[in-house]
Structures are given as structure tokens and as C-alpha cells.
Amino acid sequence: MRFLNRTPLTLASILLLCSTAATAQDNDEEDLALIYGDKSTVSIATGSQVAVRRAPAVASVITSQDIAAMGATDLDEVLETVPGIHVSRSTNNYSPIYIIRGIYSQLNPQVLMLQNGIPVTTSQQGNRGSVWGGLPLENVARIEIIRGPGSALYGADAYAGVINIITKSAADIPATEVGLRAGSFNTKDAWLLHGGKMGSIDVAAYLRVGSTNGFREVISADAQSARDRSFGTRASLAPGGVNTGRDAVDASLDLGYEKFRFRAGYKLRDDVGNAAGTSSALDPVGRLKGERVTSDFSWVDPQFAHNWSAGFTAAYMHATNLVTTPLVLSPPGTRFATGLFPAGMIGSPQTWERQFRLSAYTVYSGFDSHRLRIGVGHDDLNMYRTSESRNFTFNAAGTPVPLASVVDFTNAAPFLRPQRRKISYVYAQDEWNFARDWTLTAGVRQDSYSDVGSTTNPRLALVWDATLDLTAKILAGRAFRAPAFNELYSINNPVNRGNPDLVPETISTLEAAFSWQARRDVQMNLNFFRYQMNQIIRTVPNVTPGTGATFNNTGNQNGDGMELELIWDASRDVRITANYSHQRSTDKATNTDAGYDPHNQLYARADWRFASGWMLSPQVNWVADRMRAAGDRRPPVPDYKAVDITLKTTRGKDQWDISATVRNLFNATVLEPSLAPGTAIPNDLPMAPRAVYVQAAYRF
């Protein structure tokens, strides 16, 4: 690695220059902190606050001020700006797929999402839930992201990366705020935020109600199109528009008293459209509903005893994934070798689950140059109820057989029976400052599962403050992902069948990272990574055509790449933020490109503060070189450049703040890849065209 030559300076000279310039810099830095928030520290890397540049991980921090500048209204729009992350879509209700460093799967369970440090994972699919429906940002204080493994601290699913959503506390809401938003696709939102005191209790409350018809870009051919050609039918609804509408309610309450904190949340997604269809056949009829209730109670004492700190958390989540209008898996007139479906192939799979999570930790700093963290926990994940109604059954070969009417199969032969998983874990982490400017962080965690055995995952991170303006890191870690309930236990499913013999996926990663304060106004970060995935869980088509696929551990994948970030405060009024990512991933079974994720990705944004309290923020996202997976003979997925622009005011209390955002300003054609071999949806998944949103918020 070569850096720009610089004139040697003694430490005394550097300190003298810094002290001379300090007064002039203080005002600038305070102004920038007000505009962009605190991006200097991160907690996700170690469990405690640490400087981002010295964190034993490749971490990014997005503040609420960043979110406002980029005009983002949903988490997906924020994550697309992070180096090494691309947001793709699944066929089923266009659920987001957060591809980190080339690690792709249709259900995306390899990315662990936390809210205030607690997993939001559902057990059925091992991801955020089959009816996710987005995450609004009005109540988000900051988003912390680790790219790379985190199982040594967070356990299962902290595989490709970890995303922690930190909601606003009373300290983050200095006033009451009401807001309204309207825009394209008949999108409407209204919200209320309040922060303050109730006696000696800190109170933060949030309520948001919204709806959208969603965009309806056209799918030109779907899975039924191919079936029509085979059986001489004309049942397909393609060409036809995707169905991406939904209604939404989000609410939360945050109470703090001395060392105690209680949070409760509610998330409803109703009348959710089925996008391109559950089985890749257009379904304009089916509607879904997801409902989630969460709560957690925590106690943290940073001075529990001399040289000791400690904390405890108890968390509960109840999640339902329901079908309010039966899903049409294949449209009316569908024919299989077993017969005709005059009303279409209809199904209504539903799940209910509750989760209890207990965790505790202690940190001891009494050893010379060491900071030791020890934690324990227990999770009880109970999918206590499932139900299914459908108008088909299966023959001995697994082919769907039509029935005269819709029948309740909940007790006889559902798609998945209730399942329960208990996990106990223990971890230890030592931060050892073994020499001046050198810190070695070593950690290990063991997870014991009631159904898939035990796994142990270590990590090492060496951080060196090479100079006052350069920090270097070498990171090594291993992570795992336990099979989800649908991968293990699915039965009577026309799309995917479970396999109780699955073992966890594993990944080993090596990273080198550099953080360089090139000048007072220029910050650069450069990361290199290499990983190897083993025992990957994928679906393998069943022998009989038209009978879906079965989950199997089917091979290995290698990947490597780099990520470059730049933050340049060009003046007091202009900040430039940019990043470039390059990656390549190889499926070792076929020795071909793993497909789906862009090899090259560039993001850039300029924030220009002008006049009095106005900011203009144009941004561009370039996504290029997305190859197809093995067996897919279609040409590469088309590149695109999407330009967004936001104009906003920042007037503060007792005034209206107005913002207007245009997304995909030049109406670029944006496609996300459909699964190999491309026979289901051959022309990929179309994304939203140009969209305009206007919002107003008043603080008092």
C-alpha cells in the first residue's frame, strides 16, 4: 500500500500545529456535528462505544442528519448508500435482499438486523419476516453497520454483516414534531414524535400512519408463461404490473429512569401486495398482513463496582405473518399433468411466533491494559402455530393435484408444523492494549441449539494507530448461519421442501482496513476483504419437473474485493461524500461467477448549504457488472445510474421544515435479477420509475 509522500514532522511539531489551529477548527467541527450528527463512535463492533476508526471491524455510521440530507424515507434507501451493500429484491412481495460483499440468497438470512441491539429475526425464514414492508426513518437516531462476520459477539446470522437500528430516545427529540408526506404512487404518511420528561422519567413516543398504492412496473413474462407453453394454455397474467402497495402503522414508546430503560413497539403492514407472486406467477389478488409487537427491559450500570460495569436485557417479540386474501400461486386456467385448476392454484400459509430473549454481560477493566467482556444469554424461539388452506394436494411424485374447493389442511398436512428452538450461548472478548498505539481484540462465542447442535466462532482484530492521522487494522473472523425452520421442516410446499439433515452454513473472512485523515477536511477509508463460505444452503430442483425444490447444503463460495470511502468538507457549506466498491464472488462447485451482486458500485453525494437554512443534496448511484449465476444463459443484468436530488430546509423549533425529493430523476430503467436459470421471470424484476415526494414537519 502506498500513500502520498509527506514532509516528516516531529511529534512536538504536530502537537504545536494542532494546538495553534484548534481554535479555528472548533467552530467548524461543532457546525459539522450539528449538521451531520456524531459519526465518530460506534457501539456495534464491541458492545461498547469506541471510535469508528479504532473499532475492531469495518463499520459505518449513518446519522439522522445524514438520512435527512439524502432524502431517505425507508431503510432500503439508506443501505444502498453504504459501500459494499446493494439492495436487491425477491419475487415475493419485493422483500429487500441486502447483498453484502457478494453474498446473495433469495430470503437473505445471512444478514442480521438488530433494533437497539436486539434481533428482529423471525424463525420461519431466518430473516426479517415474510411480510417486512419496509422500515420508516422518522424515529431512527442512527444506523450502525458492520460489513463482515459478527458471530463472535452476536451469534447466528451475523454472517455477511450486522445492521443495528438505534431508535430515538428523549435526548434525541428535543421537541414535539408533527409531519406529513405525500408523493408518487399515491403515497401518504403522517407522523408524530415527542420527547420530554414525565417527572423523573425520560419519555420518547412515536406514531406513524401511512399507505401507498406502490409502483406497478410491468412483468413481461412469468412462470406461468412457460407453463402455458408446455400445456397449451393461456392462463398467464403477464404482461402485467407488479403489486407493491401496502398500508402501514408504526408506534413506539421509550421510557428511561436512571439505569433502567423500557421500550415497546408495534409494527403493522396490512393489505400488502404480492409483487411478482409467491411462485413467480403474477398475483393481483393475494394480500398479506404482518403484525409485530416488541418490548424490552434493560438495566445498565457503567460503574457497577470498582473496575466493573454490567448490564441485563429481557426482550419479547410476537410476530404474525397472515394471508388476508388467499394467494394465487398460479392463475385460473393453470394446468399440470395431474389436471386443470379452473380457479387457479390457491394457498393461504400463515404463521404465529413468539420469542423470549435474555442476555447479560459484565466488563472488567482492572487488568493492566486489558478490557474483558463476558456475556451469556438464552433465546426461546417458538413458532407456536401454523395454518394453511389450499385447493390442491400432492401425488406420490410431489406434483400438485387439483381439489374441487379450498380445504383447511392445518391439522392434516400443512406446509409447516409448529416448531420450537432454544439457544444458550456464552461469549468472551478481550481488548488488549499490549503496546502504545496497538490493540488486539480477541473474542469467541459458543452457541448451543436444541435442534442443530453447537457451534463455536472466534474473531481476532489487530488495530494499529500508525500515525496521528493513519489507523490500520487486520481482522479475521468466522461466522455461521443456522438453518431456518422452513429450510429444515417445510412439507407439502409446492415451491420449496425442507431438509432435516441440513447443517449450518459457515464463513471465514480476512480483512485489512485503513483509515486516513489525509487533511483536516479530508477523511479516507480503504478496506480489502477475502472470504470463504462453506455448506451453503440452497434449493435444488426436485427430479420431477414442476414439483419445486428442496433445501440442501450445496457447495462453497469464495469472494474478495475492496471498498473505498471519501468524505471531503470542501468548504463550510459544501460536503462531498463518495464511495466505490469492487467485489467478485466465485461458486466453487461450477468455478463460475456466483451472480446477482454488482462487481462495481459507485455512490456520491454533495451537500450544499446555501442562503439561510437551505440545503441541496444531489446524489448518484451507479451499479454495474452483475453477472448471472451458473446455468443462467441470459446476458448480464443491465447496468444503471440512478440520480436523486433533495432540497430541504433546516429551520429548527417553532418553524416548518420543508423538503422535496425526486428519486430516479432521469427515469433510468432499473432491474433486479430474477433467479437462475431465468425461466420463471426471464426479463428480471422492474423497479420504481421516477418518483417525487414532498414533506413538511413542524417542531414545537
Q: Kindly report the CATH number assigned to the domain that includes residue 525.
A: 2.40.170.20
Q: Which three cell numbers stand for residue 567?
A: 468524505
Q: Give the pLDDT band of residue 13 (cuts 50, 70, 90).
A: very low
Q: In this predicted structure, which of 82-96, 254-268, 538-552, 670-684 has the lowest mean pLDDT? A: 538-552
Pairing of strands 345-364, 400-408: unpaired
- Residue 676 counted as domain residue: yes
pLDDT at 380 over 70: yes
Q: Give the pLDDT band of residue 126 (cuts 50, 70, 90).
A: very high
Percent over 90 (pLDDT), the chain = 84
Q: Give the pLDDT band of residue 404 (cuts 50, 70, 90).
A: very high
User: What integer pLDDT is reported at residue 379 of this predicted model?
Assistant: 98
- Residue 6 counted as domain residue: no
pLDDT at 329 over 80: yes
- Residue 4 counted as domain residue: no
- Residue 3 counted as domain residue: no
Pairing of strands 522-534, 557-571: antiparallel
pLDDT at 87 over 70: yes
- Residue 5 counted as domain residue: no
User: What integer pLDDT is reported at residue 560 of this predicted model?
Assistant: 97
Where is pLDDT greater, at 654 or 121? Answer: 121
In contact, 448 and 379? CB cutoff 8 Å: no
Q: What is the pTM of this model?
A: 0.92
pLDDT at 254 over 80: yes
User: What integer pLDDT is reported at residue 7 of this predicted model?
Assistant: 35
Average pLDDT on 389-405 reads 89
- Residue 92 counted as domain residue: yes
- Residue 2 counted as domain residue: no
Q: Residue 72: what residue type?
A: A
Q: Which three cell numbers stand for residue 191?
A: 407522523
Q: Kindly state the DSSP code that residue 636 receives in the 8-state scheme.
A: P
C-alpha torsion sign, points 151, 155, 160, 165: negative
pLDDT at 11 over 60: no
In contact, 572 and 537? CB cutoff 8 Å: no
pLDDT at 9 over 70: no
Where is pLDDT greater, at 175 or 320? Answer: 320
Domain ranges, residue 263: 11-699
pLDDT tens digits, 565-593: 999 999 999 999 999 999 999 999 899 99
pLDDT at 492 over 90: no
Average pLDDT on 546-558 reads 82
pLDDT tens digits, 17-51: 334 333 434 444 445 455 556 678 888 888 888 99
Q: Residues near 147 by Cβ (< 8 Å), separated by ≥ 6?
A: 58, 59, 60, 82, 83, 84, 85, 100, 101, 160, 161, 527, 529, 563
pLDDT at 16 over 80: no
Q: In this predicted structure, which of 545-549, 562-566, 660-664 has the lowest mean pLDDT? A: 545-549
User: What's the number of domains the chain is made of?
Assistant: 1
Q: Kindly state the DSSP code that residue 342 receives in the 8-state scheme.
A: T
Average pLDDT over the chain reads: 91
Percent over 70 (pLDDT), the chain = 93
- Residue 295 counted as domain residue: yes
Alpha carbon distance 309, 55 (integer Å): 20
Q: In this predicted structure, which of 47-51, 369-373, 561-565, 613-617 has the lowest mean pLDDT? A: 47-51
Distances (CA, A) of 353 to 265, 267, 504: 16, 15, 22
Q: Give the pLDDT band of residue 472 (cuts 50, 70, 90).
A: very high
In contact, 124 and 173? CB cutoff 8 Å: no
Q: Give the pLDDT band of residue 543 (cuts 50, 70, 90).
A: low
Q: Give the pLDDT band of residue 12 (cuts 50, 70, 90).
A: very low
* Residue 140: its H or E element: strand 140-147
Average pLDDT on 612-621 reads 94
Q: Give the pLDDT band of residue 655 (cuts 50, 70, 90).
A: confident
By C-alpha distance, which of 66, 21, 68 is closest to 699?
68
Average pLDDT on 345-356 reads 96
Average pLDDT on 340-367 reads 96
Q: Residues near 466 by Cβ (< 8 Å), separated by ≥ 6?
A: 437, 472
User: What integer pLDDT is reported at residue 587 of this predicted model?
Assistant: 93
Alpha carbon distance 495, 514 (integer Å): 45
Pairing of strands 496-497, 549-553: parallel
